[in-house]
Chains A and B, each alone.
Chain A
Amino acid sequence: MRIADLTRLSWDQVRRRKVVTMLCAAGLSIGCAAIILAMSIGESTQEIVSSQLNSFLKMDEITVYPNNGPSSPPGSTESKDDEAAKRGALNDQKLEIMRNIKHVKAVAPFQEFNYMEMTTMDSKKGYALIVGTDLSTLKDFGESFMQGDVTGTTDTMNAVVLSYGATLDLLDPETRSKLYQSMDRNPYDENIRKQYESLRTTPTALFKQQIQILSMQDSGKQLTSPGLRVIGVLKKPKGQSDINIAQDRKIYVSIETAEMLRKELFPKNESENKAGTYNSVKVKVDAEEHVKQVEDQLKKLSVNTQSNLLQKERLEEQFSIFKAVAVGAGVFILIIASISIIVAMTMSTYQRRRQIGIMKVLGANLAQIRNMFIVEAALLGLLGGLLGILFSYWIVWGINALILNMTQGESAMSIFIPAKAIPTGLAFAIMTGILSGIYPAVSASRTDALTAIKRD
């Protein structure tokens, strides 16, 4: 029997027996939609969490810290500790070795200060983290400039690059004080809160302007840094709210400027950082799969390393369990749906006994009758699968609309249907259809032609 004839005859039955078709397709579509949704929610959540994890904990970066050696055992001499610290220190020589390790894309030294107060030329004030680094490597570490650039800039002394967050939440002390007082007086006033948030999230134009860093001494004396030129402002990070961005406030300066600031603002702590050594070093690797290999190489330099692979592995492990459970639930629904198909098709077989008998008398053999029913079941599966795909798109659309509604359009989170979920859902639905159709098909093919065509 030709495949086209087999399909046509089976499709004709699917079309004709509307109730059976609806019953079977409904069950299968729910199962198929459940599988697609399970995969979509699993993949989407993993993607969202991974991208957020990536934006905070970059997967292709390794942070290197000095290795000060094991804690001193009782009775050990101080000179041994010094020796260990010297061996484990992060210096220019080690940086050079790191740059030459295979798969290393960029290396940047870091000297971090605490959060410090900054002031603009028009007396707006705010706090930011001062980070001393090689400014030319910012782009290598995934930063891009909204204004200005440091490519080709040789003179980075007294120059700064601001994160986008550092341009937010800058207010003159009087305005800030008034706002705080208003909020204290009217803690539930929505308008004041909105006004405050709006001021906090409005960027100040600082490119090509000068800023100063302030430091308060124990004696109560305030030290002010020399004027620092803003030679660049980094782009606004994607997928984060303005309030969150306003908390990520960094002022990047060159290592030389950082040293100068330390001397100017913390004159008493001169011995804290030895010249030519760094708090930490960041190593950018060309691909995530090489991180482990590079990390092993770095450890040979007597330094401590930290990558985010472990966190990612743990996350993936948790998501794989979640996805397996969700897909399992979908498969369970399909099994339940398959029972409805078996029942509906067995009923249909019984009702069509006469037709089967006539076909057998006209020369249809066991395999041809069986195949007709199996193709019919597969078509029901296909129909159920297509309906399931449609349902899953509707449900995902509904979930996304709900998320947007709940977050008032601010959420960067949305559920998507991964490409592989569609063929997987469809294949499960068709397979369920076929497997459920086997028993009715075999039963139909065994119908005794003579009994079937006999009229009482």
Chain B
Amino acid sequence: MLRVEGLSHAFKNGNETTLVLQQISFVVHKGEMVALLGSSGSGKSTLLNLMAGLMKPTEGEIYIADNNIVKMNENKLAEFRRTHIGFIFQAYELLPNLTVRENIELPLVFQSERPSIRKQKALKLLEQVGIPDKGDMFPSQLSGGQQQRVSIARSLITEPSVIFADEPTGNLDTKTEEEILAILKELNRTMNTTFIIVTHEREVANQTQHIITLRDGRLEQSQSPEPDQAEEVIQ
């Protein structure tokens, strides 16, 4: 589903070059829920941005659904993101002037989808994320957890191949964090959607089926969780 091959990335700062990722390679299968674990400065956010096509790597290839996104130009990438990639942000990033339902429909607006179909899909997703009655509200009228649920619904509306979640529980309290992770796991199970979650918290990573650990820009480990936690994931 997602294949990263020999990925390296360096930032240039004047004459100085900082290597942030070095020869990263891994594979994520369809329907997997993967955690990209690492401490601050480990290069996990850079890796996420590269996989989402928001940056071009210095070296290496990234394949999503057999499409090499490194070779795509900006417009092609926009089109690819529109159809194959979903995003969940740490700070939700909902547009404040649009209602909850309009926010969820937005990716389909860029696909020129018919309004009736958009509405139908948005209402179904609102139910799936557990806020069926919030469609006509504005983001400012919702709690942080509810806003993140809207963000999840928005990422799912195009039925993408993979959803990238950048610290999705980073702004939430423990109880809400658990609720959001439960929703993600449920959606992963029922919709068979691939999730790649960037996190620095081991507890969050342990909830997934596959943990990719980064340290100082290198792939430290790519493994399944401990058996007792894996059982929890399966449940």
Contact = CB atoms under 8 A, between A and B. Distances in A.
A184 interface: no
A366 B81 CA distance: 13
B106 interface: yes
B145 interface: no
Given A1-B109, A1-B110, A361 B75 contact: no
Contact of B91 (A2, A5, A355, A455): A455
Interface in A355-370: 355, 358-368
A12 interface: yes
A363 B78 contact: yes
Contact of A453 (B81, B93, B115, B158): B93
Contacts of B49: 450
Given A2-B112, A368-B110, A455-B91, A363 B74 contact: no
A450 B95 contact: no
Nearest to B52: A361
8 A-B pairs with least C-beta separation: A363-B82, A365-B78, A450-B54, A363-B110, A363-B81, A362-B107, A358-B93, A5-B109
Interface of B: 49, 52, 54-55, 74-75, 78-79, 81-83, 85, 87, 89, 91, 93, 95, 97-98, 106-107, 109-112, 115, 154, 158
B95 A358 contact: yes
Interface of A: 1-2, 4-5, 9, 12-13, 16, 354-355, 358-368, 449-450, 453, 455
B154 to A, nearest CB: 7
Contacts of B158: 363
A362 B154 contact: yes
A430 B83 CA distance: 35
Contacts of A360: 78
7 contacts: A9-B109, A13-B97, A363-B85, A364-B110, A365-B75, A366-B78, A453-B89
A329 B107 CA distance: 46
A191 to B, nearest CB: 71
Contacts of A364: 78, 82, 110
Contacts of A9: 109
Contacts of B89: 358, 453
A5 B75 CA distance: 20
A129 B89 CA distance: 95
Contact of A363 (B55, B93, B111, B115): B111
Nearest to B106: A362
Contacts of A455: 91
Contacts, number: 64
B22 to A, nearest CB: 21
Contacts of A453: 89, 93
Given A355-B95, A358-B93, A366-B75, 6 more contacts: A13-B97, A363-B79, A363-B82, A366-B74, A367-B75, A449-B54
A9 B154 CA distance: 17
Nearest to A363: B82
A362 B87 contact: yes
Contacts of B81: 361-363
A359 B87 CA distance: 11
A360 B115 CA distance: 20
A9 B95 CA distance: 11
A346 B85 CA distance: 30
A455 B74 CA distance: 22
A237 to B, nearest CB: 63
Contacts of A354: 93
B87 A1 contact: no
Nearest to B81: A363
Nearest to A455: B91
B110 A362 contact: yes
Nearest to A368: B110
A5 B109 CA distance: 7
Contacts of B75: 365-367
A135 B74 CA distance: 86
B106 to A, nearest CB: 6
A455 B107 CA distance: 22
A206 to B, nearest CB: 78
Nearest to B76: A365
Contacts of A12: 97-98
A224 B122 CA distance: 103
A367 B79 CA distance: 12
Contacts of A367: 75
Nearest to B83: A363
A16 B98 CA distance: 11
